[in-house]
Structure 1
Amino acid sequence: MADEEQQVSIKVWDGPVRVVHWAMVLLFVVQVVSGKMGGDMMPLHVFSGYAMIVLVVFRLIWGFVGSTHARFASFIAGPAATLRFARRLFSRQAVPQVGHNPLGGWSVIAMLLSLALQVASGLFANDGAAVEGPLASLVSFEVSTVLSEFHRWNLKLLLVLSAIHVGAVFFHLFVKRDNVLGAMFTGVRRVPPSVVRERRVALRDSPRRRAASREAESAYFPGPWRGVWVLAVTLALVYLLVR
């Protein structure tokens, strides 16, 4: 990473992405603690689960209609590109990214998918006592029990994914000198000027060189009302689902 005076500030993460990210972190902690304690904590577990559904659905929708770097299309790379980036990650050839790098992009997808499966299974699960999900009555007790077991198993997967995510953040912070953590608070990243250039189109028969970042020089950020109506749609969908 270039020296601080050679870097430029660029807005990357919009408000909805940052708010949803930290709200998910908080709710995940609440979910884990309340689920482990059980008993009188189960109502909190249930209602925080509803809130997590809202966040997951919102983020999935925002991945298609949000700002440039929030959209899945901006950070989902193919297997070959992901493998190339992984090979360069521990060398000076690694190309800095304004948004998610290929590995980080797939990490986001894995986390969202696992969270979606967790909240979905929770809707049909039971705790073996007095608490069950709002949709548990729609399936047999055997199916509800299977989904309850999946709910517990998937939590372990979520904890592993979370540990990998946190480890990657600290790796970038202390090894790559890339403060991705601060950017998730401020929405702004400090990057070398070359990172925000568009990728140059090279001739097919030209020698392979270190590719510039594929990030565009400017990014699109929708107005606040788009976030409001996406939240309204999300709340309506979740209400209809769990009422």
Structure 2
Amino acid sequence: MTGEAPPRLIWDWTVRLFHWLIVLIIPLMWWTAEEGHMDWHRRLGMTMFALILFRLIWGLIGTWTARFGPMIRRLGSLGDYIRDLRSGAHMPAFGHGPLGVLSVFALLLGISIQVSTGLFAVDVDGLESGPLAVLISFDLGRELAEIHELNFNILSGLILLHIAAILFYRFRLRDHLVKPMVTGKRAAADFGSQELPENRMRLVPLLIAVILTAASVYAVLEAG
């Protein structure tokens, strides 16, 4: 008699750490900007820059569920996935389902725009600015500051939509998406007879991502 298959790793610890730090930092960045704590806002912005850059690199060389290639391929089944949801059928995906992929890409794009515009943004008095604002004109810095503010509203909407989707999956489809983002694992039985890819952490890609991220953060700080 064979025992139950051990849980499978879905989200490696770097993906989970990125996710929860983003959950923490985004409201803190909003609060520091609203309250005028711009020194802390800049520190948090540089932290966000490091996080999003690492995640983009990890999306190319990281674990299977972290990589963008498999996510993009999964979009090919988006139509079938939506039809299944409408009919009440739902099989948990190993990683992000097609709708989850769209959400991830939208959020990563929104955060990337927020961070990149913040690096160059200048306030109306020219007293507060991002670390790379010295490289561009004041007028361009002001335009980027306006995009920075507008994009935050869009990003906030995407975050609310993301939360709504999590609640829909939890209470309508009985699929608990938060727990695996905490533990990193799901029961193998959740995936039925699906053939699951290898999703193992490897040291060399992790070191490459960390080194590239650290070098980029250093370059930005030196340029400013």
Q: Say whether residues 1:233 and 2:212 are aligned partners.
A: yes
* Residues 111 and 171 of structure 1: CA distance in aligned 2, closer, same or farther (over 3 Å): same
Match for 2:213: what amino acid? T
* Residues 60 and 195 of structure 1: CA distance in aligned 2, closer, same or farther (over 3 Å): farther
Higher fraction of helix: 2
Match for 2:51: what amino acid? L
After superposition, where does 1:79-228 map in structure 2 within 5 Å?
Answer: 81-129=77-125, 130-190=127-187, 192=189, 194-195=191-192, 197-198=194-195, 217-224=196-203, 226-228=205-207
Gaps of 5+ in 1: 1-5, 199-216
Counterpart for residue 43 of structure 1: 39
Gaps of 5+ in 2: none
Match for 2:34: what amino acid? K
What do you get for the CA RMSD once the two structures are aligned?
2.0
* Residues 80 and 229 of structure 1: CA distance in aligned 2, closer, same or farther (over 3 Å): closer
Counterpart for residue 56 of structure 1: 52
* Residues 146 and 197 of structure 1: CA distance in aligned 2, closer, same or farther (over 3 Å): same
Q: Percent identity?
A: 34
Q: Deviations over 1:116-136 (max 9, x none)?
A: 111110111012232111111
Structure 1 contact 69–219 (Cα < 8 Å) conserved? no
Match for 1:174: what amino acid? F
Counterpart for residue 14 of structure 1: 12
Q: Normalization by structure 2: what TM-score?
A: 0.89
Q: Deviations over 1:139-192 (max 9, x none)?
A: 221111111000000000110110011111111111111111000000012364
Structure 2 distance, partners of 1:187, 1:83, is 28
Of stretches 24-33 and 179-188 in structure 1, the one that deviates more from structure 2 is 24-33
Match for 1:22: what amino acid? W
Structure 2 distance, partners of 1:46, 1:77, is 37
Q: How many residues matched?
A: 218
Tell me, what secondary structure is at the counterpart of 2:198?
coil
